[in-house]
Structure 1
Amino acid sequence: MSTEKKTLTILNEAIAPGESKEVNFDVANLHTTTPVNIPVIIERSKKIGPTVLFTAGIHGDEVNGVEIVRQLIAKGINKPKRGTIICMPVINVFGFINLKREFPDGRDLNRVFPGSPKGSLASRVAYKLITEVIPHVDYIIDFHTGGSGRFNAPQIRVAEGELELKQLAKIFGAPFVLYSKNLNKSFRNTCHKLNKPLLLFEGGKSLNIDDTVTNSGVNGAKRLLKHFGMLNSSFKSSSPKKECVFIKESRWVRAKYSGMFKPVVSLNSQVQKGDLLGNITDPYGKLNYFVKSPNSGYVINVNEAPIVYQGDALFHISTVLNDKS
């Protein structure tokens, strides 16, 4: 743990204990030659402590994650009682400008880690993040949302066997903790290989900001900072309303027909096998297909798109819980 009281040099900028600084994570200009400045906000206490990194916007259209980190900065939650807090609200600024998930070359930043200094633009951004920022941090909380109209219940994702992350997930206090494998070439998997604990938060959907999701992310961040002894005494950390549910296995319910779709079940709700989840109809009044739950479980994702095609994911439902976690 980086608890030594010394000057932190990151992205060629020196930040002394007790100092606040905004540094620039620059990689390339726009095609108009306009410089692209990706601000990195660093707040350091004079008291020694861990270094925590909050990141969002790895996918440019996942603005709810950006809003969570923005609130941490705007409210001053990122000013630590001890240690250092680094905030990177928008990593994929190129996608954020265009409100697109990928980089301009179509690459998904979260599938090119650890990157390369001579690779694609996305690969260069990944490389710079891994080599110039991550070595200085002890913990990372990375904020994401669902995509393509699919609304995720606030949830933390960890891989099985990561005992420290499971404990931190419980402290974060999102409604659900979902076991999921570390995907190859992802930011999470690369940090895992570097022994840098990373909590992945999922909540909401792309191109949308939801107050419930935002509050879940902000409150979870405060709980973690309190656990690390870093939360400023001017902020209170509330306990979660309900104990988080650990989900070991889950399944997607997919559309049997193409048509107009209307969900009738609420996100976060617990359903029984055979319960009505939604309806698929056609524009001509001939089709009215009832989508029913294939098993009992919690609804952790709902597709909010009004039009769906055969095979589209409609609902994500837990199948096996792990109450012992």
Structure 2
Amino acid sequence: MSTANNTLNILGHEIKPGESKEVDFDVAHLHTASAVNVPIIIERSKTPGPTVLFTAGVHGDEVNGVEIVRQLIAKGINKPKSGTIICIPIINIFGFLNLKREFPDGRDLNRVFPGSKNGSLASRVAYKLMTEIIPHVDYIIDFHTGGSGRFNAPQIRIEKSDSQLNTLARVFGAPFILHSKYIKKSFRSSCNKLGKPLLLFEGGKSIHIDEVITNHGVVGSKRVLDHLGMLNSKFVVFAPKTDCVMIAESKWIRAKYSGMFKVAVNIGSKALKGDLLGYITDPYGKMNYFVKADVSGYVITINESPTVYQGDALFNISTKLEA
């Protein structure tokens, strides 16, 4: 475990115990020759403790995660009572500038880890993150949202067999915990291979900031820091209002017709088999198809697009829970 009783050497900078520093994660240059630097905010306590990394913006259009990390910094939650807290609010700065998921090279950053020193732009950023930042940290919380108009209920995704992550996920206290296998070349998978536990938070949708989702992310982060003995004593931590629902399996309900789409159920609610979930209509008032649940379970993702095509994923519903 990292300690705060020695100098942290990161990206060519030395940060001593008790110091605060903002350093640049030198990504690349624009085609205009302008430098593109990602600010990294580092806060260290004089008291030894773990090093926690908060990241967001792996996908440039997932702005709600950026807002969560922003609030951690703005409220001073990132100033630890012990140990070190590192915040990277935006990893894919190129995508964030254009509110696009991918890098300018068309690659999904979350599918090129651990990256390559001489590879594509996305691969080089992944490589630099994995070689110059991740070796210094003990825990990572990475914030994401749903894509393509899909709104995710606030949830933590972890691998089922990892007991440490299961404990941290319950401490975080999101309404849902999804057992999700590691995806090849993802940030989460690459950190796991280095023995760095990562909690992946999903909530809300891309190009959208939701106050409820943001609050879950901020409050959950406070709970984890408090659990690690790092949260400043001026902050109050409350237990979750409800127990976390552990989801082992889920399924998508897809559109049987193309048309205009209207949702009739709340995100995170429990639906019974046969319950009405939404409507698909045509623009001419001739068709009105009722989308109903074919299983009973929690609605953890909703497609909020006003128009859908046949086969589009509309609702993700839990099919198997775990104690």
In structure 2, C-alpha distance between the alignment counterparts of 1:31 and 1:14, rounded to whole Å: 31
1:26 partner SS = strand
Q: Amino acid of the residue matched to residue 66 of structure 1?
A: V
Pair 1:122–1:280, CA change in 2 (3 A): same
Q: Amino acid of the residue matched to residue 70 of structure 2?
A: R
2:61 corresponds to which residue? Answer: 61
In structure 2, C-alpha distance between the alignment counterparts of 1:89 and 1:102, rounded to whole Å: 16
- Aligned pairs for 1:29-178 within 5 A: 29-178=29-178
1:205 corresponds to which residue? Answer: 205
In structure 2, C-alpha distance between the alignment counterparts of 1:250 and 1:121, rounded to whole Å: 35
2:311 corresponds to which residue? Answer: 311
Q: CA deviation at 1:3?
A: 2.0
**Number of aligned pairs?**
323
2:35 partner SS = coil
Q: CA deviation at 1:4?
A: 5.5
Unaligned runs of 5+ in 1: none
Q: CA deviation at 1:160?
A: 1.3
Cα offsets for 1:111-133 (capped at 9, x unmatched): 00000010000000000000000
RMSD across aligned C-alpha pairs, in angstroms? 0.6
2:2 partner SS = coil
In structure 2, C-alpha distance between the alignment counterparts of 1:244 and 1:4, rounded to whole Å: 33
In structure 2, C-alpha distance between the alignment counterparts of 1:64 and 1:162, rounded to whole Å: 27
- Aligned pairs for 1:210-229 within 5 A: 210-229=210-229
In structure 1, C-alpha distance between the alignment counterparts of 2:100 and 2:26, rounded to whole Å: 19
Q: CA deviation at 1:246?
A: 0.2
In structure 2, C-alpha distance between the alignment counterparts of 1:108 and 1:253, rounded to whole Å: 26
2:277 corresponds to which residue? Answer: 277
Q: CA deviation at 1:37?
A: 1.5
Q: Following superposition, which runs of at least 4 residues in structure 1 exceed 6 angstroms of deviation?
A: none
TM-score, length basis structure 1: 0.99
1:100 partner SS = coil
Contact 2:4–2:50, Cα closer than 8 Å, also in 1: no
In structure 2, C-alpha distance between the alignment counterparts of 1:68 and 1:111, rounded to whole Å: 23
Cα offsets for 1:82-118 (capped at 9, x unmatched): 0000000000000000110000111000000000010
Q: CA deviation at 1:227?
A: 0.1
1:288 corresponds to which residue? Answer: 288
- Aligned pairs for 1:244-255 within 5 A: 244-255=244-255
Cα offsets for 1:164-188 (capped at 9, x unmatched): 0011000000000001111000000
In structure 1, C-alpha distance between the alignment counterparts of 2:32 and 2:318, rounded to whole Å: 47
Contact 2:59–2:102, Cα closer than 8 Å, also in 1: yes
2:28 partner SS = coil
In structure 1, C-alpha distance between the alignment counterparts of 2:39 and 2:249, rounded to whole Å: 38
Q: CA deviation at 1:5?
A: 1.0
2:16 corresponds to which residue? Answer: 16
Q: Amino acid of the residue matched to residue 248 of structure 1?
A: A
Range that drifts further, 237-246 or 122-131? 237-246
Contact 2:2–2:137, Cα closer than 8 Å, also in 1: yes
In structure 2, C-alpha distance between the alignment counterparts of 1:274 and 1:218, rounded to whole Å: 36
Contact 2:138–2:197, Cα closer than 8 Å, also in 1: yes
In structure 1, C-alpha distance between the alignment counterparts of 2:148 and 2:10, rounded to whole Å: 36
